């Protein structure tokens, strides 16, 4: 055991990690750095911007948390680092990991997400925590409405699940957040699936960007240890088939954990209540639940107090749920990438896992299209250059501190004014000709 710890310390030490962090790593029994940690920690410590693309569960959080905590310990002040993430659950999970390693230096963290009183959050921010972990909407609200809150001394800006943040409808919030941070900051982007927008953003970063991508990562690739099946069902029988599938699994494999993904919050809540009436002990996770209930549901599932979790895509990314044996898609996701993230909750770390997708007759074509797109992506890569160009334009506008929607409206208004002037000139010219005639 002592030899294992010595090897672990040497491995992390070779990355430039200091002794006090090595001691904390021993406490949580980490044996050695993962590939993403080995590749990304030294460049971050050297002051470079960084992109890390690796599968969920590969240690991406510690890949940015360790260098942040190490440099913070050299000159501790708040607010030192800002971590943006798309969901509340991820924010709390990241805060927990910072807390475990940062305990030795009395680290102060603050989670800024919806579902909690804004005034109380403002008071927490006034205490100048070292690390703020936030969802974009609530943080943008504080920037706009809290006059005492500032990010002007920020050292690190981290985008976790960066592809979802940059492509997931957060443009307006990011256009508020980015200009509030100093131009000299280090920008760190971490994601489980790469996309063109990631490359576009990191190219705009000035600190000699370092990019690392796991060879086995693809935006629409699934792992070999995943057994994927489909159930073709009439729409009116889909819920019956689902209940029977879960009941059979619970009977034959009582220790298996199951996640059922649904399209809407209402469907998740309806299935949760229906499952309970059939004697199935389950939890549900969706954005319509109160935050304390969401955390409670997730905690019960992770601790095996319940073996079935019914969730929307809020649970499809990044959450550290060690073992899930079966993922059921109550609907066929519209995007192949969403499917990959859902089924990525199982067959993790080399373990075997299963996924079942419920397919109604009118979804067969969608399923075929998604499957074909995934296969083509594995063989050829993404080739959607028009979308890439449009996304690139939007991100450049955001990095300039502007709102893409407002810029588009202003451009449209400018063109409309130009057309009106041209029309007026034509009418005046026509009138002049008539008078001169």
How much is the pLDDT for 92? 93
Of residues 286, 236, 281, the one with CA closest to residue 262: 286
Give 19-59 pLDDT, tens digit per residue: 999 999 999 888 789 899 999 999 999 999 999 998 777 78
- Confirm if 248 and 308 have CB atoms less than 8 A apart: no
Average model confidence (pLDDT) across the chain: 84
More confident position, 431 or 28: 28
Give 57-85 pLDDT, tens digit per residue: 778 999 999 999 999 999 999 999 999 99
Confidence check: pLDDT of 220 > 70: no
In the predicted model, what is the mean pLDDT of residues 215-243? 80
Query: What are the phi and psi torsion angles at 134 (to 5°)?
Result: -145, 155
- Token digits of residue 204: 């705009």
More confident position, 327 or 320: 327
How much is the pLDDT for 124? 94
What confidence category does residue 433 fall into, taking pLDDT thresholds of 50, 70 and 90?
A: very low
Instruction: Please tell me the number of Cα atoms within 13 Å of 351 on its side-chain side.
Output: 15
Q: For the CA atoms of the chain, what is the radius of gyration?
A: 25
Confidence check: pLDDT of 119 > 80: yes
In the predicted model, what is the mean pLDDT of residues 5-30? 80
Confidence check: pLDDT of 325 > 50: yes
Using DSSP's 3-state secondary structure scheme, residue 346 falls into coil
Confidence check: pLDDT of 224 > 50: yes
Parallel, antiparallel, or unpaired: how do β-strands 326-329 and 353-359 relate?
A: parallel
- Token digits of residue 43: 């460049």
DSSP 8-class letter at 179: G
What confidence category does residue 401 fall into, taking pLDDT thresholds of 50, 70 and 90?
A: confident
What confidence category does residue 411 fall into, taking pLDDT thresholds of 50, 70 and 90?
A: confident
Of residues 124, 133, 71, 126, the one with CA closest to residue 99: 133
The reported pTM is 0.71
Count the helix, strand and coil residues of the chain and give each as a percent rounded to the nearest 5.
55, 15, 35
Give 338-350 pLDDT, tens digit per residue: 888 888 888 765 5
Confidence check: pLDDT of 436 > 50: no
Query: Helix crossing, 385-399 with 404-436: angle to 10°?
Result: 100
Domains 36-213 and 226-367 are alike in CATH topology:
yes
Confidence check: pLDDT of 136 > 80: yes
Residue 299 CA to its chain's centroid (Å): 19
Q: At CA 36, angle to CA 34 and CA 334, rounded to 5?
A: 115
More confident position, 337 or 24: 24
In the predicted model, what is the mean pLDDT of residues 121-132? 95
What confidence category does residue 168 fall into, taking pLDDT thresholds of 50, 70 and 90?
A: confident
Q: Sheet holding 258-261: strands in order across?
A: 226-232, 353-359, 326-329, 258-261, 308-311, 282-285
> What DSSP assignment string belongs to 36-105?
HHHHHHHHHHTT--EEEE--TTSSHHHHHHHHHHHHHHHS--SS-EEEE-SSHHHHHHHHHHHHHHHGGG
DSSP 8-class letter at 393: H
In the predicted model, what is the mean pLDDT of residues 181-191? 94
Query: Helix crossing, 88-102 with 60-74: angle to 10°?
Result: 50
How much is the pLDDT for 357? 93
Provide the percentage of residues in the chain whose pLDDT is more than 70.
Answer: 83
Confidence check: pLDDT of 6 > 80: no
- Token digits of residue 229: 């099946």
Confidence check: pLDDT of 334 > 50: yes
Long-range Cβ contacts of 56-61 (<8 Å, 24+ apart): 56/192, 56/317, 56/318, 56/341, 56/344, 56/348, 57/320, 57/348, 57/349, 58/34, 58/214, 59/33, 59/34, 60/36, 60/160, 60/190, 60/192, 61/93, 61/94, 61/97, 61/160, 61/190
- The Cα–Cα gap between 374 and 383 comes to 13
Residue 410 CA to its chain's centroid (Å): 31
Question: How is the chain split into domains, by residue range?
Answer: 36-213, 226-367, 406-437
More confident position, 176 or 417: 176
Q: Sheet holding 186-191: strands in order across?
A: 109-112, 131-134, 81-84, 156-160, 186-191, 50-53, 210-213
How much is the pLDDT for 221? 59
In the predicted model, what is the mean pLDDT of residues 368-389? 57
CATH superfamily for domain 226-367: P-loop containing nucleotide triphosphate hydrolases (3.40.50.300)
Give 284-295 pLDDT, tens digit per residue: 999 899 888 998
Confidence check: pLDDT of 367 > 50: yes
Residue in this structure with the two tokens 């059922």, named with its chain if needed: 260
Q: Which CATH number fits domain 36-213: 2.40.110.10, 3.40.50.300, 3.20.20.70, 3.40.50.620?
A: 3.40.50.300
More confident position, 295 or 316: 295
């Amino acid at each position: 055991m002592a030899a294992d710890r010595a090897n672990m310390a040497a491995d992390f030490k070779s990355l430039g990690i200091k002794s006090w962090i090595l001691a904390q790593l021993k406490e949580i029994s980490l044996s050695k750095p993962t590939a993403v940690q080995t590749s990304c920690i030294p460049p971050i410590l050297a002051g470079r911007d960084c992109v890390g693309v690796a599968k969920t569960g590969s240690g991406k959080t510690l890949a940015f948390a360790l260098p942040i905590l190490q440099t913070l310990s050299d000159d501790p002040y708040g607010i030192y680092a800002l971590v943006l993430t798309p969901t509340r659950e991820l924010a709390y999970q990241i805060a927990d990991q910072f807390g475990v390693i940062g305990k030795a230096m009395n680290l102060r963290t603050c989670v800024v997400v919806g579902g909690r009183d804004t005034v109380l959050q403002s008071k927490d921010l006034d205490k100048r925590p070292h690390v703020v972990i936030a969802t974009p909407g609530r943080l943008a609200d504080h920037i706009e409405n809290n006059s005492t809150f500032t990010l002007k001394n920020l050292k690190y800006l981290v985008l976790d699940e960066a592809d979802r943040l940059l492509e997931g409808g957060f443009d307006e919030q990011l256009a508020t957040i980015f200009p509030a941070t100093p131009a000299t900051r280090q920008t760190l982007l971490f994601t489980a699936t790469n996309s063109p927008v990631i490359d576009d953003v990191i190219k705009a970063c000035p600190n000699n960007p370092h990019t690392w991508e796991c060879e086995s990562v693809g935006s629409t690739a699934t792992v070999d240890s995943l057994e994927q099946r489909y159930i073709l069902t009439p729409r009116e029988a889909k819920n019956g088939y689902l209940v029977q599938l879960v009941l059979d699994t619970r009977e034959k494999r009582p220790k298996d954990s199951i996640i059922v993904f649904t399209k809407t919050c209402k469907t998740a809540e309806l299935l949760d209540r229906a499952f309970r009436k059939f004697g199935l002990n389950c939890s549900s996770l969706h954005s319509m639940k109160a935050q304390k209930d969401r955390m409670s549901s997730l905690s019960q599932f992770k601790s095996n107090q319940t073996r079935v979790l019914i969730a929307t895509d809020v649970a499809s990314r990044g959450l550290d749920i060690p073992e899930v044996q079966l993922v059921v898609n109550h609907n066929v996701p519209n995007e192949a990438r969403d499917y990959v993230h859902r089924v990525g909750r199982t067959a993790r770390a080399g373990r075997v896992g299963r996924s079942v997708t419920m397919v109604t007759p009118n979804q067969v074509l969608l399923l075929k299209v998604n499957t074909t797109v995934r296969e083509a992506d594995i063989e050829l890569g993404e080739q959607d250059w028009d979308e890439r160009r449009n996304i690139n334009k939007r991100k450049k506008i955001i990095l300039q501190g502007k709102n893409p929607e407002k810029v588009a409206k202003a451009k449209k208004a400018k063109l409309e004014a130009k057309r009106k002037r041209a029309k007026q000139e034509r009418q005046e010219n026509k009138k002049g000709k008539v008078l001169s005639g």
